[in-house]
Structure 1
């Protein structure tokens, strides 16, 4: 009995001891699992270094003054390795009830997060930002960072190579959990490189131009600002714009926002008339020459009328520009002849493609060969900018720059230089070749007519309050009609300022216009006023 009792007690003790050992082992196992599955494993078991990409950049696209047109918006961020010592701080910072990972990313704008072994600050870059400029010129990249159009596509390799990456490095266990011992490291590869491309665009002038156009009644159109000496394009805008941050929303827009209307050719109308006058003066027409306007002129078996059936009476070149008299310019052009007129227009840049880079090409438009003009009716149409004549806003801007600078033409340019990793310019893009188009006397006569037009003629609504200017309106027939049977008109305003020493030629085009003096002229006025204020501000600073 006693022996059996002793055996029974011994067995119970052994069972109890076994159970205790099992429970102890189980407890240890729970602790080990808890540590291994916690946000941070404090024991480096099979330790390895982990690398995580935090941010990446693409090469810069700058304006002429070195101001970035992309990569403008930077958001401060931080990465924190959560430890028992800083966990409460992280909880307050994030507002979250628990932290489920040893690495905590803070991507909102932050302030006063002290740098430490476990806390590193960095920034991310928004390629285009909330208010992108020059969308049709810069283009956009897809989700893989590949340039799809514009500068982004033409210089995809250069911009991609100029970019950099920012990495987070930390030690991790075999299970991938962050180890607290060694802290964290944030390092970059070419992340802060200034390398990229410089455009001729002036960021301030671009913003002035875009705002003036976007706030106008024009829904489909363009505006161009070109330097009258260098023929560098300092602002160029096409509307409607698309959002490079979300191009998908523009795919179904019936107004086709992906078309760059500044590079597209449209019917020209009366902004071509100064070219006709220049051809006449260069070919011997006396500046005092007059013609009798009866409100219409008959030639080639067709009758051509002045706008709104107006009868202008005796008109010279000055009054003809002010009143936009079709009869004067038809008679003048017929006297000059098709060959002389076409050759003059060619020198002004009509009919020439403007190739800025592989993905940015301005259409050549259409300037008929003089041999294809076989009737007076064809020539008459051309004399007031109608018929087969088509031109882009860039071409018209360049033509008016010729008048403004006294008669010289250069090929318009958009690219200025490339920038290396040291911030130095190289591979300059130049347009040094200059061609004499008309003599200075001819330019002076035309410019005076355009100046008077701003004071007394069709351009009066485009006259800026803070500078003298010269310019011309146009309302061109397109031969296209809307659903109501009304002809769609293409309206223009082309001019330059300041009048005495012109700096900029500006063109505004409305693809679906009404009257140029009402829709395009006020936009020219806003642009000229804004640029003048900007330039005056620079002088005062």
Structure 2
């Protein structure tokens, strides 16, 4: 051929041109090889990233039960109406052609051709109107009319066009029937069911159960960069918060194939969800409800707490805090007004007084003082003479230097038991000062005062208890002897203290959870005996009999309002004086256990601003013990309460 003939004749210019052509073809072939072979995986991944959307699918949250298997928290179906935006194109085109464009031309008659940016805006307006009209029609028919906010719609359209757009939430069964009858034929509209947290007993045990809050993007070890998160919930307080990871389960993943404008074409489940674990608590639902009812009747607008504990193993059978709240208000979202009401500074419905409230113990602290003075060698039969208070005929007083401390007990001779049941300040200050602050500190520390119980990690406060003698005057020590001044406790701590006296000297870890999915808890959550106090059995017997006298002595006992025939209760009343909002207020207590002959239950009642421990709290405890009797029925071994 002519070209090859010219190359053979050593035509240098033609040879250079030919070499250039060959080199160019070689470069082109290498480039094609690099793109199609070497880089194919990267381009394939990029294509998938542009075409697929990863969606986080929350797992079904685990249920919570009481010790007898009664449901405390579960998931109920919630019916929502959603609209799939890819189905709206025909309707939006109709709106664009017949409404939006004619309106624009009518208001801009001089414009012949619609500018490009305006054209795009009008398309978005047509889509908004199409969805807005359907939303108004559906919600009005379902008797929950609302106007679609443009911002919410456009945010969804721009960021999540491949996901269904929510129109109506939380339909009743009647609304579900209406929707199915009237809107079933509208393309793109779907009735979808998803689980939502529900508390069938309302406000019962609310502080123990806690509350959940909408949280679609949890922190954790999830490695997938999700494009969208379906609605999910996280526990914030109580058991819901403490065991959130166990209850929440493991989320699944579904992949959506979208087209070039972002609308859904198909979907595929990539990984299945793993349901959350079920939680079994130690509380008895019926006893919990009875304790709440008893406390609510203590006084108007009561602010207080009750703890009922099994003195043998530390199981918390009831844990009450009032005022309370309904946890059902939170899964669907709570208004700012309702949240402000629940967090009212004066009543604070959300505040868990049973575990997080730190209060002056008043005279129930005399149980600690009693251990200290008995271990210091005080003879319980020894008589101590309470001085008379000239300003209060018939009442006693004690003087620390020039300071007079009033005594509600009468003047005259008191041995240990009489001083205990009359709650004599003079007696316990006198012998408490003799025992000394180091002994009071040592005994309090053995009872773990000033320490958290461990039942509510992250949800218990620091409480006050002295750790050294530095800076303590005789007046300060006198205050400590009667539970005033630089000491604070929680009702749960006082239940542990009372249980230790009832069981002979063992401080127990309070237990709130029996099992997770039928399996016992690991060592992270301690249970059983925390400390063996190694109390002298004679001292324990002396305190127990004094507590019994405080209740069964219906003439002098300050706790006589807790007396129940055929069910002997031992108790100690307390009334602490505190400063609150610039005025003097009271914290009233009744710490008790029963039955005296074979202790099983510790019942601690605390009421803020009560009249007295004996007048306000002891009657509450009596009602709780009566509820226990009713639950026991005729079974002598209390099997109906399932204490195992």
TM-score between both structures, scaled by the size of structure 1 = 0.72
Corresponding residue number in structure 1 for 2:564: 464
Give the root-mean-square deviation of aligned CA atoms.
4.0
In 2: Cα distance, 1:68 partner to 1:463 partner? 33
Pairing partner for 2:297 from 197, 210, 215? 215
Deviation, 1:418, is 2.2
Q: Deviations over 1:113-139 (max 9, x none)?
A: xxxxxxxxx995642235143222222
Corresponding residue number in structure 2 for 1:513: 610
Deviation, 1:396, is 1.0
Q: In 2 relative to 1, CA 337–54 (structure 1 residues): closer, same or farther, beyond 3 Å?
A: closer
Corresponding residue number in structure 1 for 2:308: 225
Q: In 2 relative to 1, CA 472–57 (structure 1 residues): closer, same or farther, beyond 3 Å?
A: same
* Structure 2 residue matching 1:355: 3-state secondary structure: coil
Within a 5 Å distance, the mapping from 1:61-460 to structure 2 comes to: 61-71=64-74, 74=76, 94=178, 96=181, 99-101=184-186, 126-129=197-200, 131-144=202-215, 145-161=233-249, 195-217=277-299, 219-244=302-327, 245-246=329-330, 248=335, 249-252=338-341, 253-254=344-345, 255-262=347-354, 263-294=356-387, 295-307=396-408, 310-361=409-460, 363-372=461-470, 374-419=472-517, 423-425=518-520, 427=522, 429-432=525-528, 433-456=530-553, 457-460=557-560
In 2: Cα distance, 1:92 partner to 1:213 partner? 41
In 2: Cα distance, 1:416 partner to 1:74 partner? 24
Q: Deviations over 1:142-201 (max 9, x none)?
A: 133122223222332222116899x9xxxxxxxx9xxxxxxxxxxx9668x572333332
Q: Deviations over 1:436-488 (max 9, x none)?
A: 25222211111111111102211011223452101111110002356xx5x21
Q: In 2 relative to 1, CA 539–374 (structure 1 residues): closer, same or farther, beyond 3 Å?
A: closer
In the alignment, structure 2 segments of 5+ residues that lack a partner are 1-54, 82-173, 216-232, 255-262, 264-270, 388-395
Q: Larger Rg: 1 or 2?
A: 2
Do 1:233 and 1:414's aligned partners in 2 also have CA atoms closer than 8 Å? yes
In 2: Cα distance, 1:93 partner to 1:196 partner? 32
Corresponding residue number in structure 1 for 2:627: 530
Q: In 2 relative to 1, CA 372–260 (structure 1 residues): closer, same or farther, beyond 3 Å?
A: farther
Q: Deviations over 1:332-352 (max 9, x none)?
A: 101111111221121122111
Q: How many residues align?
A: 450
Do 1:409 and 1:437's aligned partners in 2 also have CA atoms closer than 8 Å? no
Matched, 1:58 2:48: no
Deviation >4 Å, runs of 4+: 52-56, 73-79, 90-99, 101-107, 122-126, 162-165, 188-191, 423-426, 537-541
Q: Deviations over 1:235-270 (max 9, x none)?
A: 211111122224542423331122211122111111
Q: In 2 relative to 1, CA 66–368 (structure 1 residues): closer, same or farther, beyond 3 Å?
A: same
In 1: Cα distance, 2:590 partner to 2:430 partner? 24
In 1: Cα distance, 2:313 partner to 2:519 partner? 22
Do 1:242 and 1:257's aligned partners in 2 also have CA atoms closer than 8 Å? yes
Deviation, 1:61, is 2.5
Pairing partner for 1:477 from 568, 577, 582? 577
In 2: Cα distance, 1:512 partner to 1:100 partner? 62
In 2: Cα distance, 1:190 partner to 1:54 partner? 7
In 2: Cα distance, 1:426 partner to 1:458 partner? 41
In 2: Cα distance, 1:312 partner to 1:436 partner? 34
Q: Which structure features the higher share of strand residues?
A: 1
TM-score between both structures, scaled by the size of structure 2 = 0.62
In 1: Cα distance, 2:434 partner to 2:620 partner? 35
In 1: Cα distance, 2:532 partner to 2:293 partner? 34
Do 2:57 and 2:251's aligned partners in 1 also have CA atoms closer than 8 Å? no
Do 1:312 and 1:325's aligned partners in 2 also have CA atoms closer than 8 Å? no
In the alignment, structure 1 segments of 5+ residues that lack a partner are 1-51, 80-89, 108-121, 168-175, 177-187
Corresponding residue number in structure 2 for 1:17: none
In 2: Cα distance, 1:97 partner to 1:271 partner? 66
Deviation, 1:490, is 0.7
